[in-house]
Structures are given as C-alpha cells and as structure tokens.
Structure 1
Amino acid sequence: MTTRTIERTSKKLWFAAIKPPMYSVAIMPIWVGSAVAFAETHQFNASIFFTFLISAILILAWENFSNDVFDSETGADVNKKNSLVNMTGNKSLIFWISNLCLAAGLLGISTIAARQQDFTVIGLILLCCGIGYIYQGPPFRLSYKGLGEILCFFAFGPLAFAATYYSQTKAWSNTSLAASIVVGIATSLILFCSHFNQVKDDAAIGKRSPVVRLGTKRSAQLLPWICGSLYALTTLFVILKVFPVWTLLIFLSLPVARKLCKFIGSQHDQPQKLTFCRLIAVELHFWSGLLLGLGFMLTQLV
C-alpha cells in the first residue's frame, strides 16, 4: 500500500470517526424550531440562535465521543476501525475531550438562560443530556435494550424543539411540538439505519437493537413506512392547518428517502456494504429538516 493510499484511508477513517455530517442532528432542531417561532411570532434573535447552534453541536460532540468510550468498555466497537478510542488508543483522552465539549456547550446554553433571566431552556437541555447519558452510559446503557431510537426521538424532537422555541419566544407552541415529531422521527431513523452493518457484533455482546430483534429483512421492509411517515405527517398537519402549505416543500427530499430504502432493501444482509448507509439517512434528515424549516420561514417572507 502506497503512502498516498495510506493517507487517504487514514483521512477517511478520521472523517468517519468525527462524523461531521452527523452534526445536522444538532442543527436541524435549532433551525426548524427557530423557523416555527419566526413564522408564529415574527421574532428571530440571531445571537441566541447562533449561541444555541454552537452549544448544541458541542453537546452532540460530547455524546458522540463519550459513546465511543462507553462502547469500548463493552466490546461493541472491538471491530470498529473508525472508533476514536481504537484510533487513538487513549480512552482517557477521548473521555476528557468529550467532557470539555459538554461543559462548553452547557456554558453557552447558560448564557441564554442568564440573558432571559429564566432557567427553563437550560433545564430542558440538561434533561436532553440526561437522556443522552442513559442512552449509552453505565449502568443504564438503554440503547443495549433496544430503546435508543425512542430516547433519540424525545431528546432531538420534543425536548430540543421546546428549548429552541422557548429560547426565541419564552412561550410554548403546539405547532413546534408537531414539527418536532417529524424531525424526531427523521433523527431516530439515522440511529435505526446505523445498526444494519453491525448486527453480528451487537448480537454477540447482547445489544438488542431493533435490527437485531427484527432481523435485517424485516427491518429493511419497515424503512419505507418510517420514511413515508415524514411526508404523511407533514401532509396531515397541513390539512389540519397546523403547518403552512409551504412546508410541503419537504416532498423535495423524497428522492433521498427512496434512495435510502432501495439501498438498504437490496443489501440488508450484506453488512460490509452498509457501513455508510447512515450517511444517506443523515442526508434525508438534513434535506427534510432544511425544507421543513424553509417552509415555515416562507410564510413570513413571501
């Protein structure tokens, strides 16, 4: 193997380990939640938006890095080349970097609470962090019991949206709650798709992910229904006049949903080919969230 090839392989592994595209998971609740607030109140505080955005990215970095640490302790990542712990060989370093990211993220959210003289937002985010910990951290490790997708839905759906909307308006919104359901499902879908390439490793350590429980074939057959729910719910909310008609722009992300379902459906039993299938799910999450938020923004801009 040439030096150049080794360098390319190393870069790909670091990219996969740090997971830059995954940070759309932190960005979309802030974007869509703020867009809903703007559509309903015509209020948009840019400094709060960007402070929240950076803080959310840092908190997600904590979760991603600490999950690598926790998985290294159970043996779940023993064959995972793009684990930060495996790549650095220094579990303690990754653990403390993750904690530094958490502290910085919470500091940012605390400045929002201080400006508002209201601790509601920091309370909601601390609850999200608690969910993030029991997802993978000892002694809970609820993701090993197949509850990861449910926890992910609430942390990056209703709770994150409530905190975002409140940070902009100091109020609550049923529309924001409805939007959180759509984005929450899209977020949980990423986690669901990430299990397909590690079924054997998960089963070997007793990790009962949904794909382990259902099998890859039945899980792949479930995908079109999960993806379809994003569009069905949006349409329903438009009919009920909860969402503005512009939010139907989300249908422009439908080709990505079809690509995801076709890719996993045709290769569900070939884990070596599904290593990066989660990136298609991230792409769906990004475009569906971006378009949904744009639909809300357009109600005030057009």
Structure 2
Amino acid sequence: MTTKQILYPSTKLWMAAIKPPMYSVAIMPIWVGTAVAFAETKVFNGAVFSTFVIAAILILAWENISNDVFDSETGIDQNKHHSLVNLTSNKPLVFWIGNLCLGLGLLGILAIAFWQQDLTVIAIILLCCVLGYMYQGPPFRLGYQGLGEILCFFAFGPLAVEAAYYSQTQTWSMTSLAVSVIVGIATTLILFCSHFHQVKDDIAAGKRSPIVRLGTQKGAQVLVWFTASIYPLTLLFVLLGISPGWTLLSWVSLPFAVKLCRHVQENHNQPDKVSNCKFIAVAVHFWACLLFGLGFIL
C-alpha cells in the first residue's frame, strides 16, 4: 500500500478520478446548439443556457461515477488505481453520489421544461441518459460489445445539440442537426482514444472495444481518418451554406489534431505512453467546438 501511495499520490489520483478536463464534453454541445440558435434567431436566454450547462455537467458526472461502479462489478478496473470505487472502497456510497448527481441534473432540465411549459427538452435528455446507462449498465453493457462510440456519437452529438437549440427557441433546426455531426465526431474521438492503453484489461474482462477488435496499430490508422474528418466536414458545411465562413476558425485546433495522431501512431502499443492521448483528444474537442460555435456568434 505504501509503495502504491508513493507511486500514485492521492491528490493526483483524485484528480484523475474526477477528470476535470472531461467536463468540456458536457458543455460544448450546449454551447454549439445555443450558438446556432442565436445566429438563426438572435434569441439568447442566459438563465436557460446556464441551467442547461450545470445540469449537463451533473449528468455527465453521474455517467462517469456510475461507470466506475459498473466496471467494478466486471473486474475490468482492478488495475485502475484512480477508480472512485477503488479509491473509496465504498461502492454503495459512490453509486448513490452518482444518482444524486443525476437527480440534480434532471431537476435542472425539468426547470427548463417548466419555464417553457414544454416537455421536449427533458424527453431528449432522458433519452441521452438511457443511452448513457446502456453504455456500461447491466444487463446491456453495450460498451463491452464495442458499441460505445455509436451511443456516444448520438448522445453528445445530434441529441444534445438539438436539445440545446430547442431549449432556446422551442423549434427545430436542420442547421443545428447538420453541425451536430461535427460535435458528435469530436466527442466520440475522446472515447475512442481512451481504449488504447487498456487493451490487456479489456481482453481479460471480455470487453470487445474497437481497439481490441482492430488492434492498436490499425486503431491508430483509423484514428487519423476519424480525426481528419472534422476539418473537411467543416469546410463542406461552409461551401454548402449550412454554416458561416467564420466557423473555419475551428481549424485553429488542427495542431492539436496533428499532435494527437502522431502521438498515438508512435506509441499505440505502449500503454504508459499512450494513456494521455484522450486528454489531447479533449483539447481537439474543446478548441474545435468552442471556435466552431464562436463562428456562428460572429
């Protein structure tokens, strides 16, 4: 135990367990959907936006916390020192803290529905929660079948972005739906990258993640195409008149994308070195989505 504490300082472990940078994943779909709504309608409700962002962070916290609980049941996290269950040795407590986050998050979305006298947004977010549960929760555990990326794309892409747009306007938008593809791809990129360093543990637990199925080398090649697709898509939407030219600001994130692809290609089969690639993917996601949304505002 003493050796582990020296190797893994408790503060660092807790920060790794909480994963602060990851919460941009909850914020960016709300930001982009709201930005598109403002560009199209010149409507911006600050109270709705702020409430939605806080609620989204709480719901993502529930998903991250509950995933630690569900993973502890399969044994896949036995070597994961920063698992909340491993850190606290109290699975029921972790489980109920996660449920508290979910309840508070849904209360925020219910508040938006009450203000609008419209249940549409809460219905969409409940669907997102169902997809989030199906990712790791029993009896589904679709993440163990390699389907997590598909669930992630729809939950954090089309569903979340459209919900954010609707929360501002109470209408639908084909523009919002189209650009949600970019947000979905950028978010799914983070999940895809999270598998490279845990192939052995995934195989031992029977988890058929995309990297287990493809192998790390082919997975690194797929990552290049997957990451690169964000930028021509952005240009295509501008050329088709779907999004304004200012959205090409998102290309400022390209150096992070290049860094990510190079890093994974060089270290795909070295777990200790490649384990940080998901945080580079977070940087790609954050800057691409932030500047993409800013393009609509400008």
TM range (shorter): over 0.9
Give the whole-Å Cα distance in 1 for the aligned partners of 2:55 and 2:276: 27
Name the counterpart of 1:169: 169
Name the counterpart of 2:203: 203
Alignment of 1:73 onto 2:73: yes
1:95/1:238 CA distance change after superposition, 3 Å? same
**Where does 1:221-236 land on structure 2 (aligned, <5 Å)?**
221-236=221-236
Shift of 1:8: 7.8
Does the residue aligned with 2:133 lie in a helix, a strand or coil? helix
Q: Which moved more, 1:18-27 or 1:223-232?
A: 223-232
Shift of 1:6: 4.6
* Structure 2 spans left out of the alignment, 5+ residues: none
1:177-232, Cα deviation, whole Å (9 max, x unpaired): 11110010010000000000000110111100000000000000111111111101
Letter in 1 for 2:162: A
Name the counterpart of 2:239: 239
Does the residue aligned with 1:187 lie in a helix, a strand or coil? helix
1:107-129, Cα deviation, whole Å (9 max, x unpaired): 00000000100000000000000
Name the counterpart of 2:252: 252
Letter in 2 for 1:73: E
Give the whole-Å Cα distance in 1 for the aligned partners of 2:176 and 2:9: 42
Give the whole-Å Cα distance in 2 for the aligned partners of 1:90 and 1:275: 26
Name the counterpart of 2:111: 111
Give the whole-Å Cα distance in 1 for the aligned partners of 2:141 and 2:9: 32
Q: Give me the CA root mean square deviation.
A: 1.5
Letter in 2 for 1:121: V
Give the whole-Å Cα distance in 2 for the aligned partners of 1:74 and 1:81: 15
1:133-154, Cα deviation, whole Å (9 max, x unpaired): 0110000000000000000000
Name the counterpart of 2:158: 158
Alignment of 1:276 onto 2:292: no
Does the residue aligned with 1:281 lie in a helix, a strand or coil? helix
Letter in 1 for 2:127: L
1:214-254, Cα deviation, whole Å (9 max, x unpaired): 00000001111111111011110000000100000011000
Give the whole-Å Cα distance in 1 for the aligned partners of 2:90 and 2:179: 40
Give the whole-Å Cα distance in 1 for the aligned partners of 2:29 and 2:226: 19
Give the whole-Å Cα distance in 2 for the aligned partners of 1:277 and 1:232: 23
Give the whole-Å Cα distance in 1 for the aligned partners of 2:57 and 2:204: 32
**Where does 1:1-302 land on structure 2 (aligned, <5 Å)?**
6=6, 9-298=9-298
Letter in 2 for 1:286: F
1:68-109, Cα deviation, whole Å (9 max, x unpaired): 000000011010011000011110110000000000000000
Give the whole-Å Cα distance in 1 for the aligned partners of 2:18 and 2:201: 21
Give the whole-Å Cα distance in 1 for the aligned partners of 2:6 and 2:288: 36
TM-score, normalised to structure 1, is: 0.96
Aligned residues, how many? 297
Give the whole-Å Cα distance in 2 for the aligned partners of 1:269 and 1:6: 26
Give the whole-Å Cα distance in 2 for the aligned partners of 1:275 and 1:219: 14
Give the whole-Å Cα distance in 1 for the aligned partners of 2:224 and 2:80: 28
Does the residue aligned with 1:263 lie in a helix, a strand or coil? helix
Does the residue aligned with 1:206 lie in a helix, a strand or coil? coil
Shift of 1:157: 0.4
